């Protein structure tokens, strides 16, 4: 195997880990976008959300919920949760970014991807999209 994954390696850094249970841990981001930027990481070296077990999913989202309560008291309001696609990650090891943010996802997309103002979708368009996705995922 190649190099040891940086997130697996973070587990040795007790000082940077603010939480750890049998399924996941929380570590302060090494290159934070802003103060209060936390990474929530499954203990197992997984590359996709679909690989998370039920227990891992539950532990991760309970912890994220706790961070959403704690971070505003410490660093700033409006905590957002982001998970990048595999090929956009520095590490293959899946992780959720949790950080305070003045803007929500709409602001981020409009600023950086030039997405125009929102337009209300028709019921028909929404139903069509739901059906396309349903067929694709085999539901």
Residues 6+ apart with CB under 8 A from 57: none
**Ramachandran angles phi, psi of 115, nearest 5°:** -70, 125
The length of the chain is 139
Helix (H, G, I), strand (E, B), or coil: what is residue 100?
strand
Residues forming contacts to Zn ion in the complex (CB under 5 A) are: 5, 7-8, 45, 93
Helix (H, G, I), strand (E, B), or coil: what is residue 112?
helix
Nearest-approach distance from CB 46 to Zn ion, in angstroms: 8
Is the Cβ of residue 24 or residue 71 nearer to Zn ion in the bound state?
24
Is the Cβ of residue 63 or residue 100 nearer to Zn ion in the bound state?
63
Is the Cβ of residue 50 or residue 122 nearer to Zn ion in the bound state?
50
Nearest-approach distance from CB 95 to Zn ion, in angstroms: 9
Nearest-approach distance from CB 8 to Zn ion, in angstroms: 3
């Amino acid at each position: 195997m190649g190099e040891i994954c940086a997130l697996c390696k973070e587990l040795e850094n007790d000082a940077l880990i603010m939480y750890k249970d049998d399924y996941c841990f929380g570590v302060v981001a090494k290159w934070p976008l802003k103060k209060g930027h936390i990474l929530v990481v499954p203990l197992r070296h997984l590359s996709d959300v679909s690989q998370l077990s039920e227990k891992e999913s539950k532990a991760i989202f309970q912890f994220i919920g706790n961070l959403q309560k704690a971070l505003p008291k410490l660093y700033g309001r409006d905590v957002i949760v982001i998970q990048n696609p595999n090929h956009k990650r520095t590490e293959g090891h899946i992780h959720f970014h949790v950080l305070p943010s003045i803007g929500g996802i709409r602001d981020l997309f409009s600023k950086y991807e030039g997405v125009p103002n929102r337009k209300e979708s028709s019921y028909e368009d929404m139903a069509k999209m739901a059906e396309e996705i349903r067929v694709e995922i085999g539901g």
